[in-house]
Amino acid sequence: MKEVILIKLGEIVLKGLNRKNFEDRLVKSIKHRLHKTGSFKVKNSQSIITVTPVFEDIDMDEAAECISKIFGIAAFSRACAAEKDIEAIKQTARDYLQETFLSTSSFKVEAKRSDKKFPLTSPQIAAEVGGYLSDCFPDAAVDVHNPETVVTVEIRDDAAYIHAGVIRGAGGIPVGTGGKAAVLISGGIDSPVAAYMMAKRGIELTAVHFASPPYTSERAEEKVRELLEKVSAYSGKMTMYTVPFTRLQEEIRDKCHEEYFTIIMRRFMMTIAEKIARQNDCQALITGESLGQVASQTIGAIACTDAVCHMPVFRPLIGMDKEEIIGISRKIDTFDISIQPYEDCCTVFTPKHPRTRPVLKNVIVEQNKIDFEPLIEEAVENVKITEI
């Protein structure tokens, strides 16, 4: 038996004249992501992408797990290919689904005939295969209204495919079709989720992390790298820029009023991140802020932060509560890493009473107490680059 994976496209099918660009990008992504699993033939035809292993010893469980994390895929099925002959289809269905039917109490068969030259209609195919499977597996009752298992037979140009179940895909659109952006990544729960959500909208990611040794440890930076590895299972490879931020934070501590520490720090972060973004041809910044979650995430504080930016800032979590964000972090397997007790630089010199309604002109007055331009340039020049 020859097992394949049939991939159903998502919102790509709604695209107009540039649909082929999205499909080509998705096929390229599938080939690249499956490369470590083994050799596959990837074919796009009739709005279905067929992934066929070149060799029989390929781990299809691993391949399916990989495909489940590729954006642009609405759903997929593990299927078995058969000759386009009704007897061959019935026998293949029996052999391929034998293990499934051992634990199935009821089933029905659906048929889809894309190849109209096939001599039987869809209802006839379903009746033939259903009757045959009922004879082969008498313990499984036929139930056309609420079956435990739905067996699908798809008659396509190249072969007939049999499968019993659709697996939900990652959704979204292929990474790279939405442009490039730099995500400010900390070791917390929110920013990895923000990175994941923007990658789902086709954004190719560059990561910017701020480290403040000796106030933050090497283990905190390693934690961020582990978080990005989890995100990269969905987004694909990315580059992480670790910015030395200690001198700027010490200058803020020594020369600025305490209640402005956080907002000025955020403004410097955005300035540096934008410089790195432009060096990498990024068109936007991404942050993990949720409105009102902490003092630096009020409308006034966000406005003061954005005042230093000259490119769009995406905040995909802005209207979400913490439980919603945690739910996604568990889904993408970043939560347990995020809660490890290694502090990032956002917790360094945290004011006791941060200003929640800052006035921009007052923030600028405080910020200008620092000769910050040379320090910003120094930080950008001394970034550490890590490939994820």
pLDDT band at 297 (very low <50, low <70, confident <90, very high): confident
Provide Rg for the chain, Cα atoms: 26
Q: Identify the residue with better confidence: 47 or 372.
A: 372
Predicted pLDDT at 102: 92
Indicate if the pLDDT at residue 33 is higher than 90: yes
Distance of alpha carbon 322 from alpha carbon 290, whole angstroms: 8
Predicted pLDDT at 344: 77
Domain 2-170 = CATH 3.30.2130.30: yes
Predicted pLDDT at 164: 95
| Tens of pLDDT, residues 239-262 | 999 999 999 999 999 999 888 898
Mean of pLDDT values over 305-323: 96
Predicted pLDDT at 56: 85
| Average pLDDT score, the chain | 94
| Tens of pLDDT, residues 212-224 | 999 888 999 999 9
Predicted pLDDT at 206: 98
Predicted pLDDT at 351: 73
Distance of alpha carbon 227 from alpha carbon 240, whole angstroms: 11
Predicted pLDDT at 271: 97
What residue segments make up the domains of the chain, in order of their start? 2-170, 180-387
pLDDT band at 355 (very low <50, low <70, confident <90, very high): confident
Distance of alpha carbon 374 from alpha carbon 353, whole angstroms: 29
Distance of alpha carbon 364 from alpha carbon 118, whole angstroms: 74
Predicted pLDDT at 14: 85
Indicate if the pLDDT at residue 22 is higher than 90: yes
- What's the whole-model pTM score? 0.91
Report the CATH fold assignment for 180-387: Rossmann fold (3.40.50)
Q: How many CB atoms lie within 10 A of CB 41?
A: 11
| Tens of pLDDT, residues 68-117 | 999 999 999 999 999 999 999 999 999 999 999 999 999 999 999 999 99
Distance of alpha carbon 236 from alpha carbon 238, whole angstroms: 7
296, 262 Cβ separation under 8 angstroms: yes
Mean of pLDDT values over 159-174: 95
Tell me the residue length of the chain.
388
